[in-house]
Chains A and B, each alone.
Chain A
């Protein structure tokens, strides 16, 4: 979709890396061409009426392409996990998906690290890279064989691809659906100790250090694992960490009464770990917050807890939950958009995620204070499996532009 006319957004508050200030922004030819510009003749002019002018969100790690939900949530680019049916382990599937969302949503498929995500044989990573894969991912599984993992990291390093891993030691995690602790014990759910995450993180960091590969731990949810990431960063290891809002908003208490909307992977942790995640977002240990968007209907969720599929529909609530961290004083607004746009854009190597002249004109107008209620039954997503059902939220996207063109409702 070509941008037919230049667009100038006036009377907004620009969210820039170094602060928020009143200003305007002009886009032409799908790119940002000027900040603090006055509209020229022939421009479409939009009055932001004091709303935030922010970069469109870059969602690093979603499980479905769900355009209405992404547009509601201000997401203009989504990195699709390889856990599809069939898995994204073939260049043709990567190429198809890389074009599937255009023009109003850009999908960045993540290549399956191993054939069938089975953790044994490396997939055709170079062919998939050249077909449009922006990074490599192990999916929702971990690669148990450290030999395979080291070969993967070395190969990905050569191809200059970041490896996105799922950090849960498979032997410990087994068939677990909950974190070992009082709640899991009371509910009688198969559970694994939270240390399953730290073990996996320790190994992946050691191998990344050895191979020189860039490692992104998609979800780090426990204090022990975050400490490992913090220490590795201090040593200069090329490691980044992500998390989804569920792990800083909720603890395993949310699984009481067998609420399958709170059945997630990795499972929700105890309160102390939730606090550690918030601290790690505050101190910069966590680089990326993503939605983990995984809409699941009743056939996957209206089941006994352990039989239900993991995952939540998170695209619509991502921004509001991150803005709650701003209101709580954990982070400021520029850092919030660093977590949901700029850092993930850098990880994927895409030319967006920040309001800078020359970048792609992916823009969200955001009213950061607008209150709303999360309602499972009324979501834009293809299924309403949100653990935040019924909760009040604050902050809504009021207009979204992809390449300078208005998209969504």
Chain B
């Protein structure tokens, strides 16, 4: 055990469970700003631990965490698995093929089954918006949303915020207030975009979203972001550029004439990036389609691309979420 609880200075957050009074983490939309900040703060110790050669804690020793993924995933599943294992929990992965367990009572039945196995936390990814909330309402243990349809992907937004905070601090900047962020890509189908819009605006950033009209959802202005169709205009003055891939698997019908046409209008090339602030940071939640929404020389730009850093922070954020949400079960003082 090398981790120490140095962060969370007393008084910055409410005491005990009041700092994060939720049983589940289903969406950023359910969180207050100080609760978002609390998770970010809690994650710092795990960032430190993960950089040690001996990266293990026994905090969740004896607990069982089930990763129930009803939709294919590589990186998120791996990230949650590593997070659980580094905290000493017994982690079980359940790959439920979308086709066999999508319909009917089966989803609820699956949830009841996991519940009956006395999981101490369940991490769920599902292809339908709202599916995670549905399951969370039916089980007795904390539920973490690892992505539900086009709704939310809260740990992705939290890890993006943590990544950004580290990068900003390295540049001597503490606050998100007024930070100009442009998110470009398939906003309509992206749960990452929704969670990030809610999270980053809550933290005080000024968000622009950019996509062709068919890939921008209606009523986006009411969420407090500015919508653009012209990527060049959206990049003007941007301090952070976050690219999203086209979610072809969620599209019904044709939204874009071709990949090369999409790249022509919305691909982040080095030339385009020059339209943003000179030292603008580049992010992408992955998986990337190099040569479509982002060029390799931009994706790999030293000192400015945060893409691998996002992956690193993902493990720490998921450790923090697992820790915080299982405190009640573990009888942590002030949480039980």
Contact = CB atoms under 8 A, between A and B. Distances in A.
Interface stretch (B54-62, B127-135, B311-319): B127-135
A175 B252 contact: yes
A146 B222 CA distance: 37
Contacts of A190: 150, 252
Interface string B174-192: 0000000000000000010
A302 B104 CA distance: 8
A180 B134 contact: no
A162 interface: no
A258 B149 CA distance: 12
Nearest to B102: A307
Interface string A276-313: 00000000000000000000001100111111000000
Contacts of A306: 128-130, 149
B128 A304 contact: yes
B167 interface: no
A174 interface: yes
Nearest to A183: B219
A185 interface: yes
B200 to A, nearest CB: 15
A174 B104 CA distance: 22
Contacts of A305: 128-130
Interface residues of A, number: 25
Nearest to A191: B218
B193 to A, nearest CB: 10
A137 to B, nearest CB: 27
Interface string A150-193: 00000000000000000000000011000011111111111101
Contact of A189 (B104, B108, B129, B222): B129
B245 interface: no
A257 interface: yes
A187 B130 contact: yes
Interface in B194-230: 194, 217-220, 222-223
A181 B129 contact: no
A304 B102 CA distance: 9
B104 A303 contact: yes
Contacts of A174: 252-253
Interface string A255-274: 00110000000000000000
Contacts of B218: 180-182, 184-185, 191, 193
A278 to B, nearest CB: 23
Given A189-B129, A257-B133, A298-B105, A304 B149 contact: yes
B151 A187 contact: yes
A258 B219 contact: no
Question: Which of A181, A182, A188 gathers most chain B CB within 10 Å?
Answer: A188
B107 interface: yes
A187 B129 contact: yes
Contacts of A184: 217-219
21 contacts: A180-B217, A182-B218, A182-B219, A185-B194, A185-B217, A185-B218, A185-B219, A188-B148, A188-B149, A188-B150, A188-B151, A188-B152, A191-B218, A258-B133, A258-B134, A303-B103, A303-B128, A304-B128, A304-B148, A305-B128, A305-B129
Q: Please provide the 6 A-B residue pairs with the shortest distance between their CB atoms, ordered closest to farther.
A: A258-B130, A304-B128, A182-B219, A188-B150, A188-B151, A180-B218
Given A180-B219, A305-B128, 4 more contacts: A187-B151, A189-B129, A191-B217, A306-B130
